Amino acid sequence: MNKEFKTSVSPCAVTDEELQLINKLTVKELSAEEVYTFNVILCDNEVDRDCERFDIAALEKMAVLFVGVTGIFDHNPGSGNQTARIFTAKCEKIPGKITSLGDEYICVKAKAYMPRTNKNADLIAEIDAGIKKEVSVSCSANSFTCSVCGNDIRHGNCGHIKGETYNGKLCHCVLSDITDAYEWSFVAIPAQVNAGVTKGYESKFRKTQDLIKAIKNGECVKFTRQQSREICDYISSLEKDAEDGRLFRKSLTEEVVKFALISVPSLDGESIEKMCAQTETRELMKLRDAFRTKAGEVIPLSPQLKAKKETKTVNNNEYKF
């Protein structure tokens, strides 16, 4: 049984403990400098394209069985020699993430290593660049349960059909009792889409937002001229917004620094600026407001006093510098 899974690999640093795990699998002892490690999500409890879903016990079993299993990179020339190996795997909940069935999302997150050799250099660079890949896992399951009636769904045994809805519930096959994990492999999403596939996409995604969603999902999308223009217009409007945002943050930061220095003169302007750079815009606005209020207490502004003498109305604008 092969299962394809959309994922993204991400590089990770290796700890001493992990290095020990890796060295349990190697012939020659490797140092931290000699290994490259990365995260890979192998599968999850979401209903997949085949209307099948692993149950939690299956995921837990796979987290055990996939340790030590070799991964293949089928897109690289001479990939026969390029392999990575999983040295640790565990089931992980993603806080707040819910599956389409309303369950807590759980995935099998594994860490894999490969030696830092010249042969692997391109592949390592590719993973460092965060290129999305689809992972295919091969495993065997013994249990194929119908989500509607709980009977074995194979061979049309129970009469329910995967993908159909019964009483508002999607019928799918629950895979469990995993007996073996054979291999996992990366299938790079091809940069060029062949014409046959593209045709389907053209009618499928008409609106810009749908196109963007498809891109975000890592799908291969070929644009028509019209779609290209729409995407370009959209990017231009985003660029303008981004520029506005940058200008706003710049002046916001200047305000925070100014009010902070008035409020607490012992502060260092450069440090405040650095802190601002790491703060979300919304929080930065709150910070600006707080320091502005404080600064107003430390140095009451002369226009404010003048205004009070001349007129009884208090204009809040005069608190602003």
**Residues at the interface with Zn ion (CB under 5 A):** 146, 148-149, 158, 160
Nearer to Zn ion, 154 or 207 (CB): 154
- Closest approach of Zn ion to the CB of residue 102, in Å: 20
CA 69/CA 182 separation, integer angstroms: 7
Nearer to Zn ion, 45 or 147 (CB): 147
- Closest approach of Zn ion to the CB of residue 50, in Å: 16
- Closest approach of Zn ion to the CB of residue 151, in Å: 5
CA 155/CA 163 separation, integer angstroms: 15
- Closest approach of Zn ion to the CB of residue 156, in Å: 10
- Closest approach of Zn ion to the CB of residue 146, in Å: 3
Nearer to Zn ion, 144 or 259 (CB): 144
Nearer to Zn ion, 133 or 172 (CB): 172
Neighbours of 104 (CB within 10 A): 13
Nearer to Zn ion, 151 or 236 (CB): 151
